């Protein structure tokens, strides 16, 4: 059963509905306003409220699984899916939803506060969605948050914030997928599998210092409390974002692992430098990833992982092959950054899948270059300063299918000639593609360039072949000449004719045979007969030898027409003979007779 109460104080268009949920009630509060009108709700709004008129947070109940909708044109203070506090028991704020297209001071999907010692605080499964061009939130926004003073545990998990449109404009306020605050002397603090997604709208200001956190932990004391942030994520596919971005953040020491930041679209950054972190804490930072596959990025420092004085290992920064290098301005890439000599950075990886990128780099122990098929000999993957570290990083190269690179070609992996290259120079290159081998050219540190030469490469497949020869004509001498299109990576041998008449005879058929030989580093292996042409026509036969270095094409011309009976090289048509000529005469005479008869009838 669902009960609806008219909200007289807000007009006929505003209502509250309550529906049963196992144990506690689940409330649906929807505050709207008629078109072209504005309304102001001068108090905080809570899904778990006994105030049937306006969802006033001053009258809380134990409802959970609530849904609160703030319509366009409505202005509120803070909005909560559920706000709950207890001094005598564990508290939860789970599975609540807030949908906002109006204006609010801040939004909390669920907030659980426990001021009693030994009890738990949990916020999980909550979701906040900001939508509509007129939506404005003056921050903060939390998917789910716990305040667990002296709690046994404080957990924020599986909460989500989705920004589809509108503006998030508060100065020095933030967006949190899930957060745990002020848990002094807890047995454990955890934020896991929380998410912030931005698909549109504007987040932050050009001058503000706001942040976006997938997962966040901050504590007042209890430095020995285990603090864990894992599996949290921030994804941006549209809109404009001026905030700093953290997959996960832990104040003080803790463990940040397996968190991600992914950017596939939108505009991120501004004239003031901003930072992106996969994971951030003074403790252990491992297995975090920042992945960029699109968008416009401006003045950003991008860190797979960051630690003050702990260990940072196994973090990855990946720049995808769909990135437009022209949309990268003022970018610095760091694998595992350590802000203290007592910290350690190990096994952090750059995965670069696009060429022509301008960016500086440092704190990577593995440099993996995925060379696209569009890169040719002499071109560059990345341009910018490089701190290679000591010991030198491992360097690996993968070559995309269809690449034109062959043995003897050189490519520049890093060009720091206009800036600096420091650290220990790599001495070897690992190939990630079967058949390719590489060597380092020169001294990367002295030359300020990391250049590699292809020392071995599989043959490049020739997928088409074409040749032009002189077709036979009655009375002409056979020609051995054969030509291939300009720029072809193969040559043509002399044409042979069978039978070997000289000159060509009328009514005879002749087979032309020509052998094409692949240039060094190329192969006809796999050439489809349908992709071969002789004088623009499909050959009579196509035969690739076992080594793949030659292909033999044949074509049968003829029977040849008599001289003047169809032009040079023309295939003869069947002759009529005496009987045929007689029939043709009768047909012609009959046609004339028909025409005369019709004339006489007029």
Residue of 337 and 151 predicted with greater confidence? 337
**Left (φ > 0), alpha (ψ -120 to 50) or beta: where does 190 sit?**
beta
Residue 571, pLDDT > 70, answer: no
Render pLDDT for 183-220 as a digit per residue (tens, 0 to 9): 767 788 899 999 999 999 999 887 766 899 999 998 75
The answer, as to whether pTM is greater than 0.75, is: yes
Mean pLDDT of 463-491: 96
Residue found by looking up tokens 């109006």 in the block: 102
DSSP assignments along 1-62, one per residue? --EEEE-GGG-TT-EEEEEE-SSSEEEEEEE---TT--EE--S-EESSBS-TTT-BTTSB--
Render pLDDT for 240-288 as a digit per residue (tens, 0 to 9): 999 899 999 999 889 999 999 999 999 999 878 899 999 999 999 999 9
Q: What is the 3-state secondary structure (H, E, C) of 238-291?
A: CCEECCEEEEEEECCCCEEECCEEEECCCEEEEEEEEEEEEEEECCEEECCEEE
- Torsions phi, psi for 500 (to 5 deg): -90, 50
Residue 594, pLDDT > 70, answer: no
Most confident of 27-41, 44-58, 337-351: 337-351
pLDDT, residue 588, reads 35
Among 480, 453, 477, residue whose Cα is nearest residue 469: 480
pLDDT, residue 402, reads 87
Residue 573, pLDDT > 80, answer: no
Percent of the chain with pLDDT over 90: 67
Distance of CA 356 to the CA centre of its chain: 17
Render pLDDT for 294-334 as a digit per residue (tens, 0 to 9): 999 999 999 999 998 899 999 999 999 999 999 999 999 99
Mean pLDDT of 574-590: 37
Among 275, 337, 334, residue whose Cα is nearest residue 312: 337
pLDDT, residue 28, reads 78
* Residue 225 pLDDT class (50, 70, 90 cuts): confident
Most confident of 89-103, 162-176, 352-366: 352-366
Distance CA 444, CA 428 (A): 12
pLDDT, residue 102, reads 92
Residue 578, pLDDT > 60, answer: no
**297's tokens:** 């990025």
* Residue 569 pLDDT class (50, 70, 90 cuts): very low
Render pLDDT for 102-125 as a digit per residue (tens, 0 to 9): 999 999 999 998 767 778 889 999
Render pLDDT for 487-533 as a digit per residue (tens, 0 to 9): 999 999 999 999 999 999 999 999 999 999 999 889 999 899 999 99
Residue 472, pLDDT > 80, answer: yes
**Residues 6 or more apart from 456 whose CB is under 8 A from it?**
407, 435, 436, 437
pLDDT, residue 27, reads 66
Check whether the bond before 140 is cis (ω within 30° of 0). yes
pLDDT, residue 221, reads 55
pLDDT, residue 187, reads 81
Residue of 596 and 358 predicted with greater confidence? 358
Render pLDDT for 128-178 as a digit per residue (tens, 0 to 9): 999 999 999 987 999 999 987 666 888 999 999 999 999 988 766 799 999
Query: b/e for 6-30, b at 16 or more Cβ within 10 A?
Result: ebeebeebbbbebeeeeebbbbbbb
Q: What is the residue-averaged pLDDT of the chain?
A: 86
* Residue 25 pLDDT class (50, 70, 90 cuts): low
pLDDT, residue 10, reads 33
Residue 577, pLDDT > 60, answer: no
Percent of the chain with pLDDT over 70: 85
* Residue 591 pLDDT class (50, 70, 90 cuts): very low
Mean pLDDT of 3-30: 41
* Contact present, 172 and 207 (Cβ < 8 Å): no
- pLDDT-wise least confident of 20-34, 144-158, 224-238, 308-322: 20-34
**Residues 6 or more apart from 463 whose CB is under 8 A from it?**
526, 527, 528, 531
Residue of 117 and 430 predicted with greater confidence? 430
* Contact present, 222 and 253 (Cβ < 8 Å): no
């Amino acid at each position: 059963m669902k009960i609806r109460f008219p909200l007289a104080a807000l007009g006929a268009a505003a209502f509250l509905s309550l529906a049963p949920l196992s144990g506690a009630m689940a409330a649906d509060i929807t505050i709207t306003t008629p078109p072209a009108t504005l309304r102001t709700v001068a108090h905080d709004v809570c899904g778990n409220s006994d105030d049937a008129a306006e969802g006033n947070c001053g009258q809380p109940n134990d409802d959970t699984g609530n849904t609160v909708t703030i319509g366009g044109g409505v202005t509120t203070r803070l909005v909560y899916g559920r706000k709950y506090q207890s001094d005598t028991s564990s508290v939860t704020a789970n599975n609540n939803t807030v949908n906002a297209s109006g204006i609010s001071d801040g939004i909390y999907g669920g907030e659980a506060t426990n001021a009693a010692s030994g009890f738990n605080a949990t916020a999980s499964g909550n979701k906040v969605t900001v939508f509509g061009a007129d939506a404005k939130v003056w921050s903060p926004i939390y998917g789910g948050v716990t305040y667990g003073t002296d709690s046994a545990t404080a957990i924020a998990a599986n909460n989500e914030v989705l920004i589809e449109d509108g503006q998030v404009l508060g100065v020095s306020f933030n967006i949190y997928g899930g957060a745990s605050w002020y848990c002094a002397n807890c047995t454990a603090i955890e934020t896991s599998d929380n998410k912030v997604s931005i698909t549109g709208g504007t987040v932050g200001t050009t001058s503000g210092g706001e942040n976006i956190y997938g997962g966040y932990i901050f504590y007042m004391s209890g430095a020995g409390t285990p603090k864990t942030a894992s599996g949290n994520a921030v994804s941006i596919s549209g809109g404009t974002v001026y905030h700093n971005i953290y997959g996960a953040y832990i104040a003080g020491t803790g463990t940040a692992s397996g968190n991600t930041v992914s950017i596939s679209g939108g505009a991120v950054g501004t004239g003031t430098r901003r930072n992106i972190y996969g994971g951030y804490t003074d403790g252990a930072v491992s297995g975090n990833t920042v992945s960029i596959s699109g968008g416009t990025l401006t003045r950003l420092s991008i860190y797979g992982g960051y630690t003050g004085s702990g260990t940072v290992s196994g973090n990855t920064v990946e720049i995808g092959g769909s990135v437009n290098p022209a949309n990268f301005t003022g970018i610095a890439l760091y694998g595992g950054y350590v802000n203290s000599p007592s910290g350690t950075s190990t096994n952090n990886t750059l995965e670069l899948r696009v060429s022509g990128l301008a960016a500086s780099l440092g704190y990577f122990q593995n440099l993996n270059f995925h060379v696209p098929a569009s890169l040719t000999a002499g071109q560059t993957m990345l341009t910018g300063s490089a701190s290679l570290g000591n010991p030198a990083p491992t360097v690996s190269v993968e070559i995309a299918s269809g690449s034109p690179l062959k043995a003897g070609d050189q490519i520049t992996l890093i060009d720091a000639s206009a800036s600096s290259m420091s650290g220990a120079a790599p001495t070897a290159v690992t190939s990630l593609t079967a058949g390719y081998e590489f060597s380092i050219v020169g001294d990367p540190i002295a030359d300020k360039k990391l250049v590699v030469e292809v020392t071995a490469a599989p043959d490049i497949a020739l997928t088409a072949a074409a040749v032009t020869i002189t077709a036979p004509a009655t009375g002409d001498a056979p020609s051995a000449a054969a030509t291939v299109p300009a720029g072809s990576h193969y040559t043509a041998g002399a044409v042979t004719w069978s039978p070997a008449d000289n000159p060509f005879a009328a009514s005879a058929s002749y087979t032309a045979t020509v052998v094409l030989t692949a240039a060094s580093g190329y192969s006809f292996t796999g050439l489809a007969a349908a992709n071969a042409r002789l004088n623009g026509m499909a050959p009579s036969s196509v035969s690739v030898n076992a080594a793949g270095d030659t292909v033999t094409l044949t074509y049968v011309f003829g029977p040849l027409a008599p001289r003047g009976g169809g032009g040079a090289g023309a295939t003869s048509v069947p002759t009529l003979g005496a009987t045929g000529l007689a029939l043709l005469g009768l047909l012609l005479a009959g046609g004339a007779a028909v025409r005369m008869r019709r004339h006489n009838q007029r």
